[in-house]
Chain A
Amino acid sequence: MIHEKGSYYLPSPSYWPIFGSCALFCIMFGAAHWLHGVNWGPPLFFVGLALLFFVMYGWFHHVIQESLAGLYNKQVDHSYRWGMAWFIFSEVMFFGAFFGALFYSRISAVAELAGDSTSLFGASALTHYLIWPGFMPHWPLLHNPDPSLFPAPKQVMEAWGIPALNTLILLSSGGTITWAHWGMIKNKRSHVLIGLLLTVLLGITFLCFQAHEYITAYEDYNLRLTSGIYGTTFFMLTGFHGLHVTIGTIMLIVILFRAYLNHFNSEHHFAFEAVSWYWHFVDVVWLFLFVFVYWL
């Protein structure tokens, strides 16, 4: 038990959540209208996004001020830890859905479209015989069942080029952030700042490589979101991962800035730890991506 008697912390009423909800509503309402080609859709979307950034800035600012004022005891700290840990768990399940789609498509859907009805989850092979009798199974899918609707890619990503380099980059960034954490525990500020800076730079390098890879895929390989299930799973998985790396990098920059402002000491640095947990999570997801999307 982690109670300190008589020390419950209760925050006062807050206006940030309701602004957050308004921001989300504008983003969603704007995005849906944008997709339908309504001309006020994009502005509403960006207004919502700006409001969301403002809310996040304000909300976190408020929490940081409370933390610096020494209002948070061990119990509050533990609540934040549980909160972050289970938030990351929910993110794992989100990626799980897309990995599930990848495995199902590879193992079952493609085999079944090729007339193999023996796979574990596959349905009957009738689709193959009645609609696309010429379809052959292979992965990555270089010939789609209906190429007129989904033109196939000319080539797919080779694992042992940029992706392998990116693996190395992310793994070393996991190392540098742990190194920064050691510095944090030893109260060595310059050590922390260098470690975090290196991590941020590695994150940005990763994103640049990823962008280069996407451009190559689109321009040279004709590998697109629209090129059938391989392109679909490739871009949705690596895309959501890239989005998370971007978010993680932004969080790292904030933490770097806060470390520079001396917000942390060897006892109180949960914000740093939360971001490092997030970064490790992004790292592990990438390992799965490298193995199942690029390599195997």
Chain B
Amino acid sequence: MNSIEHAVDQHAPYNSQGFFSKVTRWIFTTNHKDIGTLYLWLSLIMFFVGGAMALLIRAELFQPGARIISPEIFNQMTTFHGLIMVFGVIMPAMVGLANWQIPMMIGAPDMALPRLNNWSFWILPFAFALLVSTLFMSGPAPNFGWTFYAPLSTTYGPKSTDFMIFSIHLLGLSSILGAINIIATIFNLRAPGMTFMKMPIFVWSWLITAFLLLAVMPVLAGVVTMMLADRHFGTSFFNAAGGGDPILFQHVFWFFGHPEVYILIMPAFGVMSEVIPTFSRKKIFGYKFMIYAISVIAFLSLLVWAHHMFTSGIPLVSELFFMYATMLIAVPTGVKIFNWVATIYKGSVTFETPMLFAIAFLFLFTLGGFSGLMLSIVPADYQYQDTYFVVAHFHYVLIPGSVYAIMAAIYYWLPKWTGHRYNERLGQWHFWLTVISTNLTFFPMHFLGLAGMPRRIPDYALQFADFNMIATIGAFIFGFSQLLFLINIVRTVRGKGPHVSNQVWEGAHGLEWTLPSPPPYHTFSSPPTIDECK
């Protein structure tokens, strides 16, 4: 495998006979489909790990009073649940989709930098090993929430914080390398005729996401480096006694953190823009404006970070700026929502599982957007800050937003990837259980938050008992119904469903649907010519 002479004719999965070569196939692979698969399996595994942590949290909150886990463990679980869901589930899933789809959608043979692509993935298991190892060490694991605010994480952070810091360095490196690869692929490997304004919106959304990743992941690396220096080398970035300021931490962290949530949602917008036209059997409404809207959202996302800090004592003039800038994001987001609705309007719509998830996305993500608008209002935010209202808000945008989009994407593209149809009945059961339990879990949290229940506390006043009980029941239904998803995926991957045609879906358009199902190991050995306008 080192010989250069053979480097050019690797167009088929090389012989994987014997255990060793079966394992090394996945470890040494430079194939975008293999790497995409690895990302997606990692994401699915971490989804259940992070989900189990969420269920521990909800079990503790089933009734008031400390019952199941100690407050110390509770704090660690909230921290890990957040970190794992953001960095271990949604981001890898989106990168996995990018790996599978972008080369097929733009007519490329593979990603532009395949070895780097392998490295981007294989850094992740080591990073998570570093992070999760803290749970098994003597002394507490990181316990200050996924936002690891200073001085909780510096002056008062447990020893294990250093492992989290290094783990975040690795996660950042993986994301940066992945983003570079995606940009190089899209800029450089488009087939002749695949101009920028013919690219599928999924590819566009990932291009812009990759720019955001490059802009903010280094800043995250910077802020954890400052933490490390404050913890061990006597610097005073976040220590007022030396002229620093703990608020500085929040500024730098949220300069990363706010674009990060757009990194989580923008590929989801891309998925929606593929799924909705297919099942409406219409072209996307307002293609150009969808792209402009994503670009504007990405740009604005870099200018709104301090809306996470309204109660930290920043001056009124900054609060006003960040309030209006935040509200402005509703405009391009509204453009997108209305364009999706207009795409469905007068289409011949069918309701296969991906489309069901897409429609649920439209309703519930919009709901999460509205609670976001409420939070952007400074005086109202003084009330909502650090309550369950915030928890309800970001779970509504992250689950019906990013997670539903990932599920829609899996149901949508899995037949293409495997050549087999998933089980539609099981898919519909999964959808309805998921969407009902999502609302059962998170809708009551709005009321809890408005009534003043603080987040990240393992106990609560008696008045909050009923809604918490409902939320816990919903969470358990949500958690266990994801087993249906797992079963459906495993069945399809093992070839249990009927064979599908190349086009798979009646209304599907685009380069990937002209390929056989499953597509060849290296999609295009020579560039296809694009003549049909998408």
Given A17-B119, A120-B315, A232-B229, is A28 in contact with B110 using a C-beta cutoff of 8 Å? no
Q: Are B243 and A122 in contact (CB under 8 A)?
A: no
Per-position contact with B for A108-123: 1 when CB-CB < 8 Å, else 0?
1110110001111111
Check if B245 is an interface residue, CB within 8 A of chain A: yes
Check if B476 is an interface residue, CB within 8 A of chain A: no
Bound Cα distance from A112 to B243, whole angstroms: 10
Bound Cα distance from A80 to B252, whole angstroms: 31
Q: Are A14 and B28 in contact (CB under 8 A)?
A: yes
Tell me which residues across on chain A come within 8 A of B125, comparing CB atoms. 21
Chain B residues bordering chain A, tally (CB within 8 A) = 94
Given A18-B122, A35-B232, is A79 in contact with B222 using a C-beta cutoff of 8 Å? no
Contact pick for B8, options A3, A10, A109, CB 8 Å: A10
Given A17-B118, A124-B313, is A93 in contact with B219 using a C-beta cutoff of 8 Å? yes
Per-position contact with A for B157-184: 1 when CB-CB < 8 Å, else 0?
0010011001101100100100111011
Tell me which residues across on chain B come within 8 A of A71, comparing CB atoms. 4, 7-8
Bound Cα distance from A21 to B192, whole angstroms: 36
* Residue in A closest to B119 when the chains form the complex, CB atoms: A17
Bound Cα distance from A110 to B525, whole angstroms: 60
Check if B18 is an interface residue, CB within 8 A of chain A: no
Q: Are B126 and A101 in contact (CB under 8 A)?
A: no
Per-position contact with B for A76-108: 1 when CB-CB < 8 Å, else 0?
001110110011011101101110110011001
Bound Cα distance from A160 to B398, whole angstroms: 53
Check if A296 is an interface residue, CB within 8 A of chain B: no
Check if A66 is an interface residue, CB within 8 A of chain B: yes
- Nearest CB of B to A60, in Å: 11
Contact pick for A24, options B116, B170, B223, CB 8 Å: B170
Q: Are A150 and B241 in contact (CB under 8 A)?
A: yes
Q: Are A225 and B315 in contact (CB under 8 A)?
A: no
Tell me which residues across on chain B come within 8 A of A16, comparing CB atoms. 115
Contact pick for A93, options B214, B226, B242, CB 8 Å: B214
Tell me which residues across on chain B come within 8 A of A65, comparing CB atoms. 4
Check if B30 is an interface residue, CB within 8 A of chain A: yes
Check if B112 is an interface residue, CB within 8 A of chain A: yes
Check if A75 is an interface residue, CB within 8 A of chain B: yes
Given A86-B183, A90-B214, is A79 in contact with B163 using a C-beta cutoff of 8 Å? no
Check if B255 is an interface residue, CB within 8 A of chain A: yes
* Residue in B closest to A109 when the chains form the complex, CB atoms: B245
Given A9-B8, A10-B522, A90-B217, is A110 in contact with B113 using a C-beta cutoff of 8 Å? no
Given A24-B123, A101-B237, A101-B252, is A141 in contact with B243 using a C-beta cutoff of 8 Å? yes
Chain A residues bordering chain B, tally (CB within 8 A) = 86
Bound Cα distance from A119 to B125, whole angstroms: 44
* Residue in A closest to B234 when the chains form the complex, CB atoms: A226
Check if B493 is an interface residue, CB within 8 A of chain A: no
* Residue in A closest to B187 when the chains form the complex, CB atoms: A82
Q: Are B318 and A94 in contact (CB under 8 A)?
A: no
Q: B116, B126, B215, B524: which has the most chain A beta carbons within 10 Å?
A: B126
Given A6-B526, A98-B222, A225-B235, is A105 in contact with B245 using a C-beta cutoff of 8 Å? yes
Q: Quick one: which of B202-258 are within 8 Å of A by CB?
A: 214-219, 221-223, 225-226, 229, 232-237, 239-245, 247-248, 251-252, 255
- Nearest CB of B to A226, in Å: 4
Q: Quick one: which of A6-36 are within 8 Å of B by CB?
A: 6-18, 20-22, 24-25, 28-29, 31-32, 35-36
Bound Cα distance from A18 to B524, whole angstroms: 27
Q: Quick one: which of A44-94 are within 8 Å of B by CB?
A: 59, 62, 65-66, 69, 71, 75, 78-80, 82-83, 86-87, 89-91, 93-94
Check if B6 is an interface residue, CB within 8 A of chain A: yes
Check if A230 is an interface residue, CB within 8 A of chain B: yes
Q: Are B242 and A83 in contact (CB under 8 A)?
A: no
Q: Are A123 and B223 in contact (CB under 8 A)?
A: no
Given A120-B317, A124-B313, is A113 in contact with B243 using a C-beta cutoff of 8 Å? yes
Tell me which residues across on chain A come within 8 A of B312, comparing CB atoms. 123
Q: Are B169 and A17 in contact (CB under 8 A)?
A: no
Check if B497 is an interface residue, CB within 8 A of chain A: no
Check if A149 is an interface residue, CB within 8 A of chain B: yes
- Nearest CB of B to A13, in Å: 4
* Sample of 29 A–B contacts (CB below 8 Å): A1-B190, A5-B526, A10-B109, A12-B1, A13-B28, A24-B123, A35-B162, A71-B4, A71-B7, A78-B188, A82-B184, A87-B176, A90-B180, A91-B218, A93-B215, A94-B218, A97-B222, A98-B226, A101-B226, A113-B243, A122-B314, A123-B314, A144-B243, A146-B242, A225-B233, A229-B242, A229-B243, A236-B225, A236-B229
Sorted nearest first, the 9 A-B pairs with minimum C-beta distance are: A97-B222, A123-B313, A226-B234, A229-B243, A146-B241, A17-B119, A150-B242, A109-B245, A28-B166
Interface contacts beyond A18-B122, A150-B242: sample of 17 additional A-B pairs, CB < 8 Å, sorted by A: A3-B191, A9-B7, A12-B1, A18-B27, A28-B130, A29-B163, A71-B7, A83-B184, A90-B214, A97-B252, A105-B248, A121-B247, A141-B243, A145-B242, A145-B243, A150-B236, A232-B236
Interface residues of B (CB under 8 A from A): 1-4, 6-8, 10-11, 14, 24-25, 27-30, 108-110, 112-116, 118-119, 122-123, 125-126, 129-130, 159, 162-163, 166-167, 169-170, 173, 176, 179-181, 183-185, 187-192, 214-219, 221-223, 225-226, 229, 232-237, 239-245, 247-248, 251-252, 255, 312-315, 317-318, 522, 524-527
